[in-house]
Amino acid sequence: MDGTVLNLSTTEEEAAAADVAYARRANAVYGTGRVTAPRAPGRGTRIYAGHIAGPGLVEDWPDRFYRVCFPGEPDDPCNPPAPVDLVTPGIPAVRISDLASFTPDSPTQQMQPNGWMVKGLATNFVARASAHEQTGELLGQPADVRFTPAGYGWDYGDGTTGSSATGGATWQDLNVPEFSETATSHTYEPGQYTITPSVTYTAEYRYSGSDWQPVDGTITIPGTPTTATAWVVRTALVAKNCLDDPDGIGCNTKDDPIPNQ
């Protein structure tokens, strides 16, 4: 039976410890008399084109060695086992509920007109929030969390709500006249209302030295409510305004639930 000659990929010094027993076993089994362990560590090797009668480390001439193997031998170098893929445990998914120790910033609110409304005319609302980072403890480890606005909402205080992908813009920024309808405006009947803005954030996190990872879910944070009054407006020619003449025409009517301004 012929054996296959393999190039020795390691140094003789590394191979000697592993293959001395293999070479001795080959001599005992096959009696070749030519199977030996290395005696000159540090020498290089090359492919030996030929056939050897037994397995093990074969000395072709002094200081040059080759591994010889037979299919089916234990730990057969002719047919090494397939490499095993090492599976690295994945980073566990982080849910928005895991961020209980983090508190994103609340949105700010602007309304036009500022602090009052006119019955039947659009009141413009603008909410503002920006991306920001916080540092704290996440699942028992120090971590950074980044919150990014993804949408805005309003509770208009009259039983209705609104939402927008953006926080809106002022009439001036939109270059439109006052009382123009916008994507974030609302119209009121006479009365007093409390308007509450909100912002919805997506979140990402990272541990020291790692890349940003997404957090499952979103979190909605309310802003500070604003209380304002919707007035009925009538037009009349008068000599004085309501501040100078509180009892003047249109300054305090019994027909409306609240006085006009």
Domain boundaries, the chain: 4-69, 96-231
Alpha-carbon distance 160 to 71, whole Å? 80
Cα–Cα nearest to 48, from 3, 113, 112: 3
pLDDT at residue number 76: 55
Residue 13 pLDDT class (50, 70, 90 cuts): low
With tokens 């309304």, the residue in question is 111
pLDDT at residue number 243: 82
Q: With 60 as the cut, is the pLDDT of residue 137 above it?
A: yes
Q: Over the stretch 37-72, which tens digit does the pLDDT of each residue have?
A: 443 333 333 333 344 445 555 544 444 455 555 555
CA distances from 214 to 91, 99, 209, 210 (A): 11, 12, 16, 12
Q: Over the stretch 181-221, which tens digit does the pLDDT of each residue have?
A: 999 999 999 999 999 999 999 999 999 878 999 999 999 99
Write phi, then psi, for 26 (nearest 5 degrees): -65, -40
What pTM was computed for the model? 0.58
Instruction: Report the relative pairing of strands 116-118 and 226-231 from DSSP bridges.
Output: parallel
- The CATH homologous superfamily to which domain 96-231 belongs is Immunoglobulins (2.60.40.10)
Length of the chain: 261
pLDDT at residue number 20: 52
